[in-house]
Amino acid sequence: MTLMLIISILFVTSVMGVAIWRMKALPDSISATVFVFKYKWLWTVWLWAVSALTLIPAIDKLSNIGMEALGFGSLACLVFCGAMPLIDKDNTDMHWVFGISGCVLSQACVYFIHYESLWVWILFPFFFLSSYIQPEGWLGKAMKGKGILLGEVICYVCLIVSKLSTVP
């Protein structure tokens, strides 16, 4: 299961690295990286792979306490979120609903796996407010308008940390 998390981390860092390189800036969200791909279905497959590689170890851990439905719910939401750009390109509302639901459910998974990992969220106000406190600083410039990306990254990091914190 640790290997799945490592592969997930490699997938995420590689696509985010390519997105930053091509866009010459941080994307506004994970969904904004869809524009990096020539074929949008590749982004969908990437999101499905990352979701499965990250959430299957969480579902395994949650099954020990009978809470695997949270992991399945999060995985299902992210699968539908990934499919929305292919199914309904003009309507982004359902994409956002599934994306936000997947993130919220993932943090419920974190709570039941290793609730101490939720402390990573303490970074959110620091990074988010940096664009208002020092808007001309390097961090302020980098974080301006990146609140969604920051939330998505913290959800992902919390999930990875929670699972790795419980590896025997």
The pLDDT, as a whole number, for residue 133 is 78
Q: Supply 8's token pair.
A: 């997930």
CA distance 104 to 96: 12
Count of structural domains within the chain:
1
The pLDDT, as a whole number, for residue 124 is 85
The pLDDT, as a whole number, for residue 35 is 79
The pLDDT, as a whole number, for residue 127 is 79
The pLDDT, as a whole number, for residue 160 is 95
56-65 confidence digits (pLDDT tens):
999 999 999 9
Q: Supply 106's token pair.
A: 């993932």
The pLDDT, as a whole number, for residue 157 is 95
How far are the Cα atoms of 1, 8, 57, 73, 155 from residue 4, in angstroms, in the given order? 5, 6, 8, 19, 17
What is the Cβ-side half-sphere exposure of residue 34, based on CA atoms within 13 angstroms? Answer: 17
The pLDDT, as a whole number, for residue 168 is 65
Residue span of the structural domain in which 94 resides: 2-165
The pLDDT, as a whole number, for residue 154 is 93
The pLDDT, as a whole number, for residue 70 is 95
In which residue ranges of the chain is pLDDT below 50? none
91-128 confidence digits (pLDDT tens):
788 889 999 999 999 999 999 999 999 999 998 888 77
Contact by Cβ (8 Å): 103, 151: yes
- Looking up tokens 């913290």, which residue turns up? 154
Q: How many CB atoms lie within 10 A of CB 134?
A: 13
